Amino acid sequence: MSESKLDKPLVSPSSRQLPDFKKSIKLKYVKLGYHYLITHGMYLFLTPLIVVVVAQLSTFSFQDLYVLWDHLRFNLISVILSSTLLVFLSTLYFLTRPHPVYLVNFSCYKPDDARQCTRQIFMERSRSTGSFTEENLQFQQKILERSGLGETTYLPEAVLRVPPNPCMAEARKEAEAVMFGAIDELLAKTHVNPKDIGILVVNCSLFNPTPSLSAMIVNHYKLRGNIVSYNLGGMGCSAGLISIDLAKDLLQVHPNSYALVVSMENITLNWYFGNERSMLVSNCLFRMGGAAILLSNKRSDRCRSKYQLVHTVRTNKGSDDKCFSCVFQMDDSNGKVGVSLSKDLMAVAGDALKTNITTLGPLVLPMSEQLLFFATLVGKKLLRMKIKPYIPDFKLAFDHFCIHAGGRAVLDEIEKNLQLSDWNMEPSRMTLNRFGNTSSSSLWYELAYAEAKGRVKSGDRTWQIAFGSGFKCNSAVWTALRTINPAKEKNPWMDEIDQFPVAVPKVSTI
């Protein structure tokens, strides 16, 4: 193949950019955000009412209370009606208020040093398979040089072996190492007895053996027989937040419970050995990793938990054919299975992101930002003024940003569209550099980075946002319940956190 064809990008430059958020804002997603806001309207109404009543009663003297009692003795009907109303409202309040969901702790799996894969090793192993043409080897090298990945990412043994050995046994071996490694560390941190876990949610998109991954965990840790377990497959890199959302809903109906969420991807059986370029990109970006998260709805756990879940917002664009097919597992022309990334991926991701943040905005933005947004929206939609919609400053709503480390191009575009700083993007960029794209678990490596840097203070709000096949964009908002002391933390960054951040050039030659 000629050099000119080699230099031709996989997709056109316009396709690699997110759409400009200022060009269009759909009102229906704004209304959806306010719909979520008033879902717990009774809770929002009664809380200030109770505060006002208590504040008023606190100003009464004993003489005032005696006069009030003397007055009520002669108004028995009023007393009965008022008491009945008070009991009714109090009962309604306690029955309808959502159970708090606490993140007790989480852990991220760090593979052994033997699994480490430099970019040079990646190219050597790819060449040694004999599966790829010389042109496609050069293509993979160019992707790596521009990917933002560093020299210390990890791949499973079956892929690094010469020759590679992708088989079910090796895939199970990788899954067990990742899941059990993360869970063992989590249980050691939280001192929770596995028998006390009542809910288990596991997500892995491309590896779904029988028995399931969730069954493997139940068997290994001898979890109780009535555990509520779920195994989510095929839901892409955003499945980690789908698992959190599912666990949150389950914790609303199972009182005094612990929920264990395990997010991972499996590389062994999903390495692509063909020569379709749209399928080769995933080889260059995806790496080994996983995370385990322990959630609780026990109010007694608040004092030892790290975070409280505030909001989850899910956006699904699967009804659109272009969105549905932009990340697609399929056979290539030679019958080899891979995941094809469409040239429309960035545009689809941008549309899903815009929808998600438009819905999320009313839930999290300060009133000043919402008023500015509405003023420009009314001017554009009703008064037909030629002005661009105001894009709210999400830095006023969040202290930390954990954006799925899917690839450098996505991070660059999100940084530009949301007007984020290098400091805001640092956890995502450093996670991509150090661990690569670990799929649904990348958000937790990013949060672990912020903790290791000592950035998380009590009351801080963290925004996790991820994209996935289908096409989906999901968000979770957490509030820190305490200041995280990095000296007391154990996470994959602690032994080397002083080395970060590192400079990541736009092109790093191999």
Burial 157-176 (b: 16+ CB within 10 A, else e): bbbbeeebebeeebbbebbe
- Angstrom distance (rounded) from CA 101 to CA 299: 9
Q: In sequence order, what DSSP letters do the residues of 425-454 get, joined into one string?
A: HHHHHHHHHHH-B-GGGHHHHHHHHHHHTT
> Would the pLDDT of 143 be above 90?
yes
Share the mean pLDDT of the chain.
87
Average pLDDT of 354-362? 86
Query: What pLDDT, in 10s, does the model give residues 21-62?
Result: 545 555 455 555 554 555 555 445 556 666 676 676 667 677
pLDDT of residue 13: 39
Q: At 5, is the pLDDT very low, low, confident or very high (cuts 50, 70, 90)?
A: very low
Q: For the chain, what percent of residues have pLDDT higher than 90?
A: 68
| 3-state DSSP assignment of residue 133 | coil
Average pLDDT of 85-96? 69
- Higher local confidence (pLDDT), 375 or 465: 465
Average pLDDT of 348-357? 89
Read off φ and ψ for residue 382, nearest 5 degrees. -100, -45
pLDDT of residue 6: 38
The dihedral through the CA atoms of 404, 410, 412, 417 has a sign that is: negative
Burial degree of 220 (CB within 10 A; 0-12, 13-18, 19+): middle
What domains appear along the chain, each with residue ranges and CATH number? 102-484 (3.40.47.10)
Structure-token pair, residue 126: 């790819």
Structure-token pair, residue 495: 């032994």
- Angstrom distance (rounded) from CA 356 to CA 365: 14
Smallest Cα–Cα separation from 220: which of 297, 296, 292? 292
Average pLDDT of 429-455? 97
397 backbone φψ class: left, alpha, beta (φ>0; ψ -120 to 50): alpha
pLDDT of residue 59: 72
Distances (CA, A) of 170 to 161, 184, 218: 11, 21, 20
Average pLDDT of 275-280? 95
Q: Which of 45-59, 302-316, 383-397 has the lowest mean pLDDT?
A: 45-59
Structure-token pair, residue 479: 């509030």
CB atoms within 10 A of CB 349: 27
- Higher local confidence (pLDDT), 410 or 443: 443
- Higher local confidence (pLDDT), 65 or 485: 485
Q: Which of 52-61, 123-132, 404-413, 461-470 has the lowest mean pLDDT?
A: 52-61
pLDDT of residue 177: 97
Read off φ and ψ for residue 207, nearest 5 degrees. -125, 110
Residue 79 identity? V
> Would the pLDDT of 209 be above 90?
yes
Q: At 3, is the pLDDT very low, low, confident or very high (cuts 50, 70, 90)?
A: very low
> Would the pLDDT of 7 be above 80?
no
| 3-state DSSP assignment of residue 354 | helix
Burial degree of 290 (CB within 10 A; 0-12, 13-18, 19+): buried
- Higher local confidence (pLDDT), 462 or 61: 462
